Structure 1
């Protein structure tokens, strides 16, 4: 009883505040103008940050590791220049002409356009361990001795034993896959694809692709440079294109910004069109939209103050909050129109509307805010910021209606304006209101059976770990980038382990190669490269062996050897003549890959993924486990850094936190409704349609082959917070003294339908976005709203009618009024 009296007092306070704003509209509107101008001022510099790293807390090891990487090593990836549409010789001339000039640009550190295969092939035997090198020497000695015996006419072999083998494939196989072989590459000296008729040049910028302004700067510099070149000399169809990490970042940002702008504009247009259809009054539309627009200005002013930028999820919140805010206006203005039609004065109608319907709107906004705040429990910054901003937006939307709508209605009343009213017994809702009391048993059976079928399939839903499904890989730069990777034979963006000494560098390489060997075919590591590892040990001892081999081979006449032996021994003679080398002798395009921003070398280990795609989240998580937690002899621990590991952390976090957030959302909603409604039973009844809708959505996803991902999984708590108010409005109105089912259902059902449709509109706009991640959010949200609409308009009222009939038959006093007798 105390709780109920508290809620009644709060209802009265809202009604009195609304009535005061109605009597003194100018004070309320001046305050609105000041708050709106302040909101717009603080929101003016908001920008979108779509960087993965920005989605995790700064204290995460993977974030700290990549920050260290960027400060010391620079950004990952390249600006890739591709020449295409010419014959191989013309493509090579283009690479030779452009590479030196490209390297002179102010934002380019170096350019790689040729494979270092000649150097590594020449020095290949220095990468062979000394025992294996001596084995090679022994095999060559044995073959030379055998060849000399065969050439001696006086020598008679008493058996038919084959000649000693000079096949070194077993030893070559032992060293296959090491960094020197993989970095040297196979095929042409140039990064050339004769089939695609394209050649690749990789320009390494000085800055990081995470800095969008810098990415635009360096890509623009490269594109302007290419635009000034005379390309006609390479052939009539020759052209250039730019791709790589920096270019893809810009294109992705452009697509997201375009999608968000399109979604927001489309959502507002759809909201206006629906409101015109719903109210059939231009002034009613304005009365509904003005508080929404003011509330959005206030909300994004807060965002500008608190965060300074929006991320992929919070960027489209304007469309969503607009739809959710309009729902309050539909309920409030609809109730106001009904009361005015019943003969109430404007002020009395405002006070009564806000006392009951406004209190219901406050409950729904508070519940939605608490649900959104459950997302704020997440360490995933995208979820946390979404939750906080959405919660603020929901509460601000109710405050804007309490402040602005009564004031506007007060001004309109002075000009004797009356809203158009709709007969609750007319239209589709009226027909449905008269039909349900006669058919509720069949309706409940059909809806209940459908919900049970969906619930039975919910266990089949799965989680999609492939990040490629959430990015627009149909863009020209993304398609071209994949072709570049195919030409290179490995990814352009390895993860990096930073070390502090040469001994640590060697230890990291040793441990990673040991992990790769231990996992065998299941390993996710392709190869590991370090500058120190590219300069083999014991070169002096190896040179002695090689000189001995070269001395013996030089005395042979190749023309007297069999063709198969001649080729092998000639190649061995060429490699045996190679001299020892140092880091300074390595090809410059290899050294550059291990250089820090200050030009120093060493302390950098590159780890390339193999057997898995780093866009495949499940494979990325396995890769992350394999390259992390390297224990050094001094007790310290080092880990690899890279955007792939950021993705792995995000996926781990979402899969770990998802169930906890969902439970917190349900419990927070239940607690809020229990406190505000005064009874646990009432709270549970109001939540029933929402809970059934969420479970039904999961089952429908399984039937349609849809999957959760790390973006759209947040739709579940959003649905809980945004659909629970429908049950609140219906129960509150049916509980009013003298209410009958047909009039309440006709009026409230129409408002509920409008509210759900406007809530869905913000998500409908996302379905038309080009970004697959935004598409998936829109798909799930609108399926959820559709299921909820069926349950709240058909299943839930039928359940209430059945319970009411049962209670009457058993002599209990109903809490909801008896519906009128069915018409003949």
Structure 2
């Protein structure tokens, strides 16, 4: 009897007490860890990533970088107008740390620019108008001059394409003048929106909820139904997106954990038919899991969108060591061995294989931590901790629990289980068809390798909207965003370029406008704006020209014009257009857009991409962001370029760089571990053969069926190495114990437990398939496929190949 068995038999009670105390502490810190759940997509990138650094700088400098869009639907347009006005007035009174500002109407701004529209015309066009007015007056005088009435000389009539000029400038203003009455609304006014801007220093979970709660409370106080019976209020925008994604993530975590525990418990009871032993197994697993997340609180401090769902994964993976242990323990008890003997046999004969599996899985997880991508790093650290601590709990708490339970009442079962017969039938089937199975396995491997020619960079998912909460995209904020697009017809969250001076902002904007003109319709730059675009150029010259025009049109000539032309002329030659316009004269809404926290104005460039699908192409997006950064850095190196698109671009590049690296690290770590632990080539080759077949088949499925790889499901590839080798190790370790003679007996005795390990692991992954978060679903699908290919390779293909080659030697 080994030393550890004797310690556990003598000190089972103390081990249980110590484990319980550690579990209490682990549970407390696990709760603290989950309280610090950060779902922002930038939390997945390295802290040194350009987009993350830039975004943090922009948050520090700007008052607001996100908003809640309050959509108001009603066919009673007058009622909805009153409601929106009253709501906005009340929201404007909110504390500035809750709501930075409110936007709903730009009528004052439209009037401001309308009164000065002549100043915003190009100087050359103004001169054309002046020359036309002068020539027209001269023409009219000549036409009605008594001395020229009977002249045979043909007087050419001056012409000016007034319609062309009007279209030119109406087109420039169309993005703003399209709103009836200046309200943010559709042309028929049945859909309205109020933009409630979130303070830049309140962009966390608490800040978004505080803003949303304030808005909901204010709307409830207004009683929308009292304005119109059909009025509907909906929410979208960045704030609502964050709230929906956060709540859906938490709901998915709770559901997946419950589903895993329920299905795993049922599977254990059906397979072992020993309720008390299963209770011991599940109790030790739960304790190992809370140890994991308690320790992770000190190792990582918080959870991101990738690591948040590791609870169900650790449960599904971590139970494997206990399953192998308890299967061997109950096998000994079925042979009427005493508890002490059965415990010693289980610990002696399963420690190496399970520790190898734990290390392999842990190293595969750990390989992710060698990358800079935080979506991989944090996942890898917690996964590694989980595999080690779950193995420790399986070989300390589980035998201690079994010892205490056996003292109360013997755990020795009186009957063989039906699953042993099933395993025996399966083993006979593999034996009878070993040649066919071997041929099919090798053929599948060749076919899977052949799909490598289908590899293309487009295998990476670049449309992050496909990875969002399904309900949000079908009925919630993601779905409702189309109404905001309908109202504004432009990208509402532009990228922000934030140089240190206004002069640099002007230079960067000029460079981008030049590039936009060079690329034409294919450009991903739809709009470039600075505060200086709202300050007319050549003002002294323009004002001089306007005064010339006014001088050419004295009242006696003015009154002779047709009524329509008189109205146009009065709107054109306003008193305001005759005065120079400075930065401080601009409307508050315009100034606010370009004002920083320190009060400085104009050190900002806003860049809008088109409302098309072009930015969803990975290569297009990467080149687009590089162009923006190149233009900004050429003027002022390190200028922040912030927004959702730079984050998406860096995400693609980071996965492309770190994904293969993590996969290679995981593979090398597993190979080195197998070589060190088993040393002999006749053991190493079969174990790695089973692993490689499973992984190659998985790769064939991905490439053959065009499964998209994203920032989350890429993790399934490296961890498949660690989890997948588990099954081959357990099968071959038992085969070696049997003297390498009877693989059929090994399948009958161990195959069932190995299959159960795979089932529990796959259950942990499959629980994510019912999640609303589509990134979770994509990971669950790929991980389940990896489980299926690896378990088939381990308990079907590997035994068949061993049988085939052993028979050939005979």
Same fold (TM over 0.5): yes
Q: How has the CA–CA distance of structure 1 residues 661 and 136 changed in structure 2, closer, same or farther, with 3 Å as cutoff? A: farther
Q: Give the whole-Å Cα distance in 1 for the aligned partners of 2:5 and 2:310.
A: 27
Out of 147, 161, 164, which is 2:159 matched to?
A: 164
- Corresponding residue for residue 7 of structure 1: none
Native 8 Å contact 1:51 1:210 kept in 2: no
1:364 and 1:728 in contact (8 A); partners too: yes
Q: Give the TM-score taking structure 2 as reference length.
A: 0.91
Distance 2:195 2:636 in 1: 38
Q: Which residue of 2 aligns with 1:606?
A: 606
2:435 maps to which of 425, 441, 456: 441
1:715 Cα deviation from its structure 2 partner: 0.8
Contact 1:76 1:208 (8 Å CA) reproduced = no
Q: CA separation in 2, counterparts of 1:341 and 1:58?
A: 56
Which of 65, 77, 83 lines up with 2:72 in the alignment?
A: 83
Q: What is the alpha-carbon distance in structure 1 between the residues aligned to residue 790 and residue 71 of structure 2?
A: 51
- The question of whether the paired residues in 2 share the 8 Å contact of 1:507 and 1:632 is answered with no
Query: Which secondary structure does the structure 2 equivalent of 1:45 belong to?
Result: helix
d(CA) in 1 for partners of 2:371, 2:215: 40
Q: Indicate conservation of the 8 Å contact 1:524/1:622, yes or no.
A: no
1:799 CA drift (Å): 1.0
Could you tell me how far apart the structure 1 residues matched to 2:429 and 2:451 are? Answer: 31
Counterparts of 1:530 and 1:348, CA distance in 2: 80
Correspondence for 1:110 among 101, 115, 119 = 101
Post-superposition CA distance 1:437-470 (Å, at most 9, x none): 2211112223333343333334436222100100
Q: Residues 26 and 231 from structure 1, CA distance in 2 versus in 1: closer, same or farther, beyond 3 angstroms? A: closer
Cα distance in 1 between the residues matched to 2:632 and 2:237: 34
Distance, in Å, in 2 between the alignment partners of 1:18 and 1:436 is: 36
Partner residue in 2 for 1:5 = none
Q: CA deviation at 1:49?
A: 1.0
Structure 1 unaligned segments of length 5 or more: list them: 1-11, 809-824
C-alpha distance 406-136 of structure 1, shift in aligned 2 (>3 A): same
Contact 1:458/1:696 (<8 A) preserved: no
How many Å separate the matches in 1 of 2:503 and 2:588? 23
Indicate the residue corresponding to 1:99 in structure 2.
Answer: 88
Retained in 2: the 8 A contact 1:624–1:648?
yes
Deviation at 1:122, TM superposition (A): 3.5
Q: Supply the distance in 1 between the matched residues of 2:229 and 2:502 (Cα, whole angstroms).
A: 51
Whether the 8 Å CA contact 1:529–1:606 is kept in 2: the answer is yes
| Contact 2:58/2:498 (8 A) holds in 1 | yes
Match of 1:210 in 2: 203
> Which residue does 1:480 correspond to in 2?
480
Q: C-alpha separation between the residues in 1 aligned to 2:662 and 2:88?
A: 52
- Residue 391 of structure 2 corresponds to 398
The Cα of 1:634 is off from its aligned counterpart by 7.4
Match status 1:57 vs 2:53: no
Structure 2 CA distance for partners of 1:793 and 1:550, relative to 1, 3 Å: farther
Match of 1:108, SS state, is: coil
Moved more, 83-92 or 156-165: 156-165
Instruction: Please tell me whether the aligned partners of residues 524 and 614 of structure 2 are also in contact (alpha carbons under 8 angstroms).
Output: no
291-300 or 474-483: which moved more? 474-483
Is 1:24 aligned to residue 26 of structure 2? no
Q: Secondary structure at the match of 2:423?
A: helix
Local SS of the residue matching 1:735? helix
Equivalence map 1:121-160=2 (5 Å): 121-150=114-143, 154-155=148-149
Give the superposition deviation at 1:421.
6.2
* DSSP-derived class of the 1:581 partner: coil
Q: Which residue of 1 aligns with 2:307?
A: 314
Equivalent residue for 1:797?
Answer: 799
Are the counterparts in 2 of residues 78 and 202 from structure 1 also a CA contact under 8 Å?
A: yes
2:468 to 462, 471, 496: 471
2-structure distance, mates of 1:32, 1:19 = 18
What is the DSSP-based 3-state SS (H/G/I as helix, E as strand, rest coil) of the residue aligned with 1:638? coil
Aligned with 1:752 (options 751, 754, 767): 754
Contact 2:256/2:768 (8 A) holds in 1: yes
Distance in 2 between residues matched to 1:172 and 1:578, nearest whole Å: 23
CA contact (8 A) 1:496 1:640 kept: yes
- Name the SS for the 2:737 alignment partner: coil
- Give 1:545 shift: 1.1
Q: Does 1:735 align with 2:736?
A: yes
Give per-residue Cα distances to partners, 1:591-615, cap 9 Å, x unaligned: 2211223544332222222255597
- Map 1:661-740 onto structure 2 (within 5 A): 661-680=662-681, 682-738=683-739, 740=742
Map of 2:378 onto structure 1:
385
Native 8 Å contact 2:490 2:611 kept in 1: no
Offset of residue 673 of structure 1? 0.9
Matched residues in 1 for 2:711 and 2:305: separation? 12
Please state how far the C-alpha of 1:113 moved relative to its aligned partner.
Answer: 1.3
1:39 matched residue in structure 2: 26
Report the Cα distance in structure 2 between the residues aligned to 1:611 and 1:157, rounded to whole angstroms: 59
- Give how far 1:740 is off: 2.1
- Please tell me the root mean square deviation across aligned C-alpha atoms, in Å: 2.9
Q: How far apart are the structure 2 equivalents of 1:696 and 1:384?
A: 26
- Look up the match of 2:658: 657
- Deviation of 1:310 after TM superposition, in Å, equals 1.2
Given candidates 317, 329, 333, the residue that maps to 1:336 is 329
- Cα distance change, pair 418–113 in 1 and its aligned pair in 2 (3 A): same
SS of structure 1 residue aligned to 2:183 = coil
Q: What does 1:408-557 correspond to in 2, within 5 Å?
A: 408-414=401-407, 415-419=409-413, 422=416, 426-460=420-454, 462-472=459-469, 473-553=473-553
Structure 1 residues 554, 99: closer, same or farther in 2, change over 3 A?
Answer: farther
Cα distance in 1 for partners of 2:771, 2:187 equals: 37
Aligned residues: 793
Cα distance 1:137–1:168, how it changes in 2: closer, same or farther (>3 A)?
farther
TM-aligned CA deviation for residue 262 of structure 1: 0.6
Instruction: State which drifts further: 666-675 or 499-508.
Output: 499-508
Contact 1:764 1:778 in 2 (8 A): yes
- Indicate how the Cα distance of structure 1 residues 321 and 123 shifts in structure 2: closer, same or farther if over 3 A, else same: same
CA distance in 1, matches of 2:676, 2:157: 93
User: Are residues 533 and 157 of structure 1, via their aligned partners in 2, closer, same or farther at CA, if it must alter by over 3 Å?
Assistant: farther
Whether contact under 8 Å (1:531, 1:594) holds in the other structure is: yes
- Structure 2: stretches of 5+ with no match in the other structure: none
Using the size of structure 1 for normalisation, the TM-score is: 0.90
> 1:648, CA displacement in angstroms?
1.5
